[in-house]
Amino acid sequence: MAPPNWHVRQNIRAPRPTRRSLLAGVAALGALGAAGCTRVATASTTPGGDLLDRLRAQGVVRLGIAGEIPFGYIDEDGHLTGEAPELARVVFKRLGVDEVQPVPTEFGSLIPGLNSQQFDVVAAGMYVNAERCAQVIFADPDHQMLNSFVVRKGNPENLHTYQDVVEKKARFATGTGYAQIRYAVEAGYAQDDILIVPDQVAGLNAVEAGRVDVFAGTAVTIREVVKKSAKAEATEPFAPLVDGKPHVDGGAFAFRPTETALRDAFNAELRKLKESGELLRILRPFGFTRSEMTDLTAKELCGG
């Protein structure tokens, strides 16, 4: 198994989707993707890129979305929402681009899809790390994130960290392309023994059915997915160990390496939202709290 790329309404709370509505939303995303599979214009050779000018001229930006709650999903009314699309709507509106159009894909295909011109920007709560920074450029993080586990009610195996999972030989699952794969392997879990599932709903189902003991994901994702479960619960958020030190991730928008002008313009508007407190107001309906706000920079997380 080749190592994966390591790894999501303004002022209006979107209805929390049921599993049935989530499945319907995924189907709708698929249909939307099939209908809108035309690729974006070829990459610019202009220094800094001219994508922002082109987006302003056409009035729409195409977002690579992974269909993951709370980062980007279809609500019960059939509308795309989530922290990344709602933030994109605000930022790109300020940049003179009135419409956002989702292009759904699997999380692990977001970077290849971006670099092959299938959409203009990745808007999926993607973690910034050195491996990804070699392939794309990131805006500064709009949130920071700890990890959490889905476990059976009462946490019978007493699993709170990746080290616990390894020591107790627990059956472990996480999502396609998730950073949690790396953290489990770092703790000593055999990568070939990890059950990879499509998303957090599939992970919850695997725990509830007893196929695995634990599913790992972001703290926000985990606490949202277990809210209506009678059989499972979320563990307390924690920082995984990387090179023996607690590590906090930052999620951000990603751009093609040539489009530094668009990235810089996006960052300028993001800073204003952070300073005014509006960023938290945009993200709060999706389970984000003040503890998820961050001053981390992409440069720090890229290791530069």
Mean pLDDT for back-to-back runs of 10 residues, the chain (304 residues): 36 37 42 44 72 98 89 81 96 97 90 97 94 97 97 98 98 92 97 95 97 96 92 97 93 97 98 98 94 95 85
Distances (CA, A) of 239 to 176, 194, 212: 20, 20, 22
* H or E, element range at 7: none
Q: Which pLDDT score, from 0 to 100, does residue 185 have? A: 97
User: Burial level of 163, CB count in 10 A (0-12/13-18/19+)?
Assistant: middle
Residue with tokens 């590590």: 247
Q: Provide the b/e sequence for 182-196 (b: ≥16 CB within 10 Å).
A: bbbbbbebeeeebeb
Domains within the chain, CATH numbers bracketed: 19-144+249-302 (3.40.190.10), 147-246 (3.40.190.10)
Q: Which pLDDT score, from 0 to 100, does residue 30 have? A: 45
Peptide bond into 285 cis (omega under 30): no
Q: Which pLDDT score, from 0 to 100, does residue 66 have? A: 87
Q: Please compute Rg for the chain using Cα positions.
A: 19
DSSP state of 286: G
Q: Which pLDDT score, from 0 to 100, does residue 72 have? A: 82
Q: Which pLDDT score, from 0 to 100, does residue 304 have? A: 64
Beta bridge partners of 216: 149, 174
